[in-house]
Amino acid sequence: MSTASMSATTNGLPPDVSVASPWVRLGAYLVEAMLILITLGIGWLIWAAMTAGSGQTPAKRVLKLRVIDSRSFRPVGLAKMFWMRGLVAGIVAGIAITCTFGVLLFMPFWDKRNQNIWDKVSSSYVVNDPSDAWNTKPNLTTH
């Protein structure tokens, strides 16, 4: 990614947060598939319901990635994760990927903002968030 397009993409992001590379995203897809398989899908669905409100799937939580809105630079909520990224973008991506014989699966490798079709449709980015910049992890301490 060029410096100019990277700065345009990351303008407004908290310190220590950066757009996820295509390789990290590919790894996240593989981890997601493993988690679905290991938990027989049911555990993954429960975990996904718990993390989606913070812009994460189970694999994104494990890998410290997050989906953020491209306009507000805030983590997307449960509704956007489910409706826009899951349902609407899933249908659009399914059709587009089928029509391109799978080529669009590799879109983050040539897109200047490392976005895939789901990101474009849902106006979002996937970012590395190693220090939980938006403080979305539950506080487990008691008073």
Judged against a pLDDT cut of 80, whether residue 9 lies above it is answered with: no
Predicted local confidence at residue 143, as pLDDT: 53
Would you say residue 82 lies in a domain? yes
Average pLDDT rounded to a whole number, residues 7-16: 69
In a domain, 34, yes or no: yes
Looking at the chain, the whole-number percentage of residues with pLDDT higher than 70 is: 88
How far is residue 81's CA from residue 121's CA, in Å, rounded to a whole number?
12
- Mean of the per-residue pLDDT values for the chain? 86
pLDDT of residue 89: 86
- The yes-or-no verdict on residue 5 having pLDDT over 60 is no
Output the CA torsion sign for 114, 102, 59, 47: positive
| Among 51, 52, 64, residue whose Cα is nearest residue 16 | 64
User: pLDDT tens digits for 54-65?
Assistant: 999 999 999 999
What pTM did the predictor assign?
Answer: 0.83
35 located within any domain: yes
**Is 138 domain-assigned?**
no
Instruction: Give residue 23's pLDDT.
Output: 95
Cα–Cα distance, 117 to 134 (Å, whole number): 25
Number of domains present in the structure of the chain: 1
pLDDT at 4: 38
Q: Is residue 80 part of a domain?
A: yes
With respect to residue 26, please indicate whether it lies within any of the assigned structural domains.
yes
Domain that holds residue 77: 15-128
112-125: average pLDDT = 92
Q: Is residue 25 part of a domain?
A: yes
User: Residue 3 domain-assigned?
Assistant: no
